[in-house]
Structure 1
Amino acid sequence: MHEYVRRIAFISEHASPAASLGGEDAGGQNVYVDDLSRQLSRLGYAVDIFTRRTSPDQPVILDWAPGVRIVHLDAGPPCPVAKDQLWCWMPELRDAFLRFLAEKHAWYDLIHAHFWMSGWVALELKRRLGIPVVQTFHALGQTKRRHQGEADTSPPARLAVEHAIVQQADRLIAQCPAERQELIHGYGASCKQITMLPAGVDTELFHPVDQAQARLRLGLDPSEPVVVYVGRILPRKDVRNVLRAVALLVRRLGQPARMLVVGGETPEPDPQATPELGALQRLAAELGIIDRVIFTGRRPRSELAWYYGAGDVAVTTPWYEPFGLTPLEAMACGRPVIGSAVGGIAFTVQPGVTGFLVPPRDPEALAWRLGQLLVEPNLRARMGDAARLRVEREFTWERAARQTALVYEQVLAEAGTPALTPGVDERPRRLSKVHGLHRRVAHGIG
C-alpha cells in the first residue's frame, strides 16, 4: 500500500474534477485540478480537493482516484450557480473547511488554491492556521476586464482580492509568460515569488489516431478538408471568427472545407442551453455554410481524440486566453494548430513548427493560414509530428506534477517544515501537528 508523505489541500470552489466538461464554467481548471492531483498522488502526495456542493446527493467525501479525494463543502445553495455569483458564499466555504478539519481530525501541510475566490479562502485559512499557500489563478481579473469591458461579470471585489493574494501567498504559479508579465506589471508581484509552470495534457488519452478510421467512426467524408474546434461555446472563444474564415475558404478560395464545432452545455446541440450556439448557427446560415458545419454538442473527454484525429487542422482564436488546454490536446493528437497570438496559446503553439499564430478577430489572416495547411499534406504531417513531440517534451502532467512538487517542497522548507527523511517515522510529529491545528481551528471559528 502506498504511503503518502505530504497532505495537500486543493481549493477549487467552482471547478470540480467530477463536473461535466464543456459547459460555461467547466473547462481547463477542472482538467488541471483533476490531472495534477492524480499525478501528485503518484509522487507520494495525498490530495484532498475542496469544492462547493452543487447537489444534495453529493457525499461529503468522494474517493476520486488513489490518493485523491473530492470533499464537497456546503457554501450557498446545493445547486449549480454561475461562478461569478459565488463570491458572497466564500466565508461559508472557509467555515465549512474549518469544520471539516475539526470533525475529521484532518490536517494539511500546504494549501494550493485555484482561482481568485479560492485564493481568498486560502489566505483566511493561512491567517488562522498558519498553513502556507500556493496560488494558481487560472485567469486574472485585469486581463478579463481589459478584454471584456462592460461584459465582464466579475464581482467588484475581484481585483482587490487578487492584489491581496499576490501580496500574501507564499508562491504564485504562472502558466505562461503572458500571465507572469501580468502578475509582475499589473499586480506588483516580485519575480522571485513567481514560478512559471505550464499545465499539461494526458498523452495517453490524447494521442494520434488514424484519420480514415476517425472519419469513418464519425460519419465524415474521408476525402474532404476538415477544420475542428473543440472547447467551450462562449463569445470570447470567438468561434464566429472561425466560421467567417471557413466561409472565405469556401467562397473565395474554392476550398470545400467541413467544420466540426465540438462543445456546449448539453450532449446534443441546444441553442436554449447554450445561447452562443444559436448565434453560431445563425451566422453559419447567413454566411451560406450551414451545410458545411457540424455542431456536435458536448462530448466526453474519452472521445475527443477521435474528433481531433478526424480534422486536418485544429483552430482556436479567442480574443484572449489565460492558458488554453485544447491546443495542447490537439497537438498531443498529432494535429497542427492555428491559434490566436494571445496568452498561453502564443506560448504553446510554435509558429511555423507546430502550427501558426494569427491575430484575433482577423478571419482573413485565419483563412489564409487555413488554406495554406489544407493544400499541403506534407506540411500538416510535419507540423503534427512536431506538435506531438513538443507535448511529450514540455507539456505532460507528469512533468507538471514534478515541477509543482518542487514548488511545494521549497515553500514548505521556507515555512520551516522539516524535509522528508527516508525511513523516519513521521507519525509523532504529525500527531503533534494535528493537535495544534485543531486548537487553532477552535479559535478560528469559535
Structure 2
Amino acid sequence: MLTIAIPQLYCGASGRKGAYNRQEVGLARAFAALGCRALAVYPDTSLSAPEAEDLEPNVRVLYLPARALAVHAFYKSWQPLLEEGVDAVHVMGDNSLGVPGLYRFCQKHGIFFYSQLGALKSDSRTPAVRLVMDLLLRRNLAVYRRTPTYAKTPAVAKEMESLGVSCAGVMPVGLDTAIIPMIPGTAAEVRAELKLDTAARYLLFVGRLDPYKRPMALPPLLEQLGPEWHLIVIGQGSLAAELDKAMAPYGDRYTRIPALPNTAVHAYYHACDVFVNLNDHEIFGMSLLEAMYAGCPPAARRAPGPELILEDGVSGVLADTDAALPDAVRRAAADPEMGPAAQRRVNEHFLWGNSAETALAMLEKKGVPAHG
C-alpha cells in the first residue's frame, strides 16, 4: 500500500488539534479513500517527542517537534517519515523556508517529492521582509525546478512559469466533505430555525474583517441593493467596529455574528440567497467553495480564486469593480439554476478527491513503488 505524507511547513493555528478544515487532513482522507495510507504531518513547538492520532483507517495525523521562525516551521527531525514507511511527500510549501531541508531528506532516503503551490512571492506588507523572502525563494525554486510541481490556480501556474518552474498542471484545493454537516429541510425551514425573515433577501459574508477581505465595501453594496435585502456577516477582525458603525443606519437589516462553530456556519449557507466575496486578490476562497457546495450562488470580485472556481454567469457572477457588485448580486439571486450549478461545479472539480486522483496518476506514471 502506497504511503503518502502531507507535511505542513507553516507554523500557525491551522494545524492544531481541533482546527477546522485542515487541508492536509482533507487530502489525507481523499488518498485513503483511493486505497492509500496517508499521514497529515504538523509541527508543534511544544513537543519534545512525536505524537500520533489515528482519525480513521489509513488516516494518521503526526505532530512532530519543531522550531518556528515567524510563520516558518523547522522540524527537528524528519526521521518519523522513515519509521512510518513513507513513499512520497505531497508538499504545499509555497515559499516556506523549510522546503529545501525536507527535499534533501527525501532525496537522501528515496522518498518521492512533489508539490502543490498556492503562492510564491511574499505577501508581507513590510518591504524589507518581502525583499528578504523573495531572495530566499530562490532556494525553493531550485527544488521546484527538479521535481513535479502543481499550481493551485492558473495565476500561480503563470507565476511559476515566469520564474522558470515547469508547471505539472493545475491542482486546486478541495473541500473535505467529511467535516461538512448535513443541513436537513428546505431553505425556508432553515431560515425559520435561524429566526430569519422568510420573505427577505439575504446576502452573506463569511470571513475575517481585516483590510485584505475588504469588508468596508459592504455598506455601499447594501445601500445599492435596496430595502428588501438584509446582510449577515459572520466574522471578526480589525475592522469589525468600523463596519458595525457604518452599518448602524441599516438597523435590523444588518446582523453580525462574531463567531460560530464552523459546523453552524453551514446552516447560513443554506439559508441565504447570495454569498459575496469581496477580496480582489483572493488566491482561492474556502468559504466560497463551502457556500457553493451548499447551493448558495456567489457574487465575487474578480480575482484568481473566484475566476478559477466559478463559471461567470453559470455557477456564480464575477464583478470587475465594486460598482458592479449590486448587479452581480441581483443576477445571482434571480437565476434559479445558479445555486444547483454552483453545487455541481464544486462536486465535479473542487473536492480533495480530484487532487488525490491527479497526484496518484502522476505517481503511477513515475513508477513510485510502495515500500511501507
Q: TM-score range by the shorter chain?
A: 0.7 to 0.9
String of CA shifts for 1:185-215, please: whole Å, max 9, x gaps.
2x2212xx42211222345737775211121
1:131 Cα deviation (Å)?
2.3
Matched-pair contact (CA < 8 Å) for 2:46–2:65: no
- Give the greater-gyration-radius structure (CA): 1
Partner of 1:308: 269
What SS does the aligned partner of 1:195 have? Answer: coil
- CA gap 1:207/1:239 in 2 versus in 1, 3 angstroms: farther
What SS does the aligned partner of 1:74 have? Answer: strand
Partner of 1:174: 151
String of CA shifts for 1:371-419, please: whole Å, max 9, x gaps.
4444x3xx1x2111211122222223322321222133334x2xxx44x
- CA gap 1:47/1:194 in 2 versus in 1, 3 angstroms: same
Matched-pair contact (CA < 8 Å) for 1:166–1:172: no
What SS does the aligned partner of 1:75 have? Answer: strand
String of CA shifts for 1:36-62, please: whole Å, max 9, x gaps.
110101222222222121656997112
Does 2:4 match 1:8? Answer: yes
What SS does the aligned partner of 2:32 have? Answer: helix
Does 2:192 match 1:216? Answer: yes
String of CA shifts for 1:14-47, please: whole Å, max 9, x gaps.
33273434xxxxxxxx543221110101222222
Does 2:340 match 1:385? Answer: yes
Partner of 2:17: 18
- CA gap 1:302/1:59 in 2 versus in 1, 3 angstroms: farther
Amino acid at match of 1:392: N
Match of 1:197 among 171, 180, 183: 171
Amino acid at match of 1:18: K
Does 2:370 match 1:407? Answer: no
- In structure 2, the gaps of 5 or more residues are none
C-alpha distance in structure 1 between counterparts of 2:128 and 2:211, whole Å? 13
Match of 1:238 among 203, 214, 219: 214
1:136 Cα deviation (Å)?
2.0
Does 2:71 match 1:86? Answer: yes
C-alpha distance in structure 2 between counterparts of 1:305 and 1:312, whole Å? 13
C-alpha distance in structure 2 between counterparts of 1:338 and 1:315, whole Å? 5
Amino acid at match of 1:168: V
C-alpha distance in structure 2 between counterparts of 1:112 and 1:8, whole Å? 7
Partner of 1:269: none
Partner of 1:261: 233
Match of 1:325 among 270, 273, 286: 286
Matched-pair contact (CA < 8 Å) for 2:90–2:113: yes
Does 2:119 match 1:158? Answer: no
- CA gap 1:101/1:10 in 2 versus in 1, 3 angstroms: closer
Matched-pair contact (CA < 8 Å) for 2:176–2:352: yes
What SS does the aligned partner of 1:47 have? Answer: strand
Higher normalized strand content (fraction of residues):
2
C-alpha distance in structure 1 between counterparts of 2:47 and 2:102, whole Å? 25
Amino acid at match of 1:166: L
Match of 2:259 among 298, 302, 318: 298
1:354 Cα deviation (Å)?
1.3
1:313 Cα deviation (Å)?
0.4
C-alpha distance in structure 2 between counterparts of 1:37 and 1:400, whole Å? 11
Does 2:32 match 1:46? Answer: no
C-alpha distance in structure 2 between counterparts of 1:306 and 1:57, whole Å? 40
C-alpha distance in structure 2 between counterparts of 1:319 and 1:166, whole Å? 27
C-alpha distance in structure 1 between counterparts of 2:332 and 2:227, whole Å? 11
- Comparing 133-142 with 333-342, greater Cα deviation is found at 133-142
Taking structure 2 as the reference length, the TM-score comes to 0.86
1:127 Cα deviation (Å)?
4.5
What SS does the aligned partner of 1:72 have? Answer: strand
What SS does the aligned partner of 1:244 have? Answer: helix
String of CA shifts for 1:159-204, please: whole Å, max 9, x gaps.
244443333231112122112111112x2212xx422112223457
- CA gap 1:154/1:237 in 2 versus in 1, 3 angstroms: farther
Partner of 1:440: none
Matched-pair contact (CA < 8 Å) for 1:242–1:315: no
- Comparing 40-49 with 220-229, greater Cα deviation is found at 40-49
Partner of 1:32: 23
1:132 Cα deviation (Å)?
2.4
- In structure 1, the gaps of 5 or more residues are 22-29, 78-83, 265-273, 421-428, 431-446
1:338 Cα deviation (Å)?
0.6
What SS does the aligned partner of 2:203 have? Answer: strand
What SS does the aligned partner of 2:337 have? Answer: helix
What SS does the aligned partner of 1:365 have? Answer: helix
String of CA shifts for 1:315-364, please: whole Å, max 9, x gaps.
102031222222222111112111121112111111111121012xx432
- CA gap 1:56/1:17 in 2 versus in 1, 3 angstroms: closer
String of CA shifts for 1:55-83, please: whole Å, max 9, x gaps.
56997112223212221122237xxxxxx
Matched-pair contact (CA < 8 Å) for 1:206–1:333: no
What SS does the aligned partner of 1:200 have? Answer: coil
C-alpha distance in structure 2 between counterparts of 1:202 and 1:49, whole Å? 14
Amino acid at match of 1:322: I
C-alpha distance in structure 2 between counterparts of 1:243 and 1:225, whole Å? 16
Taking structure 1 as the reference length, the TM-score comes to 0.73
- CA gap 1:183/1:289 in 2 versus in 1, 3 angstroms: farther
Matched-pair contact (CA < 8 Å) for 1:258–1:293: yes
- CA gap 1:182/1:194 in 2 versus in 1, 3 angstroms: same
C-alpha distance in structure 1 between counterparts of 2:176 and 2:193, whole Å? 22
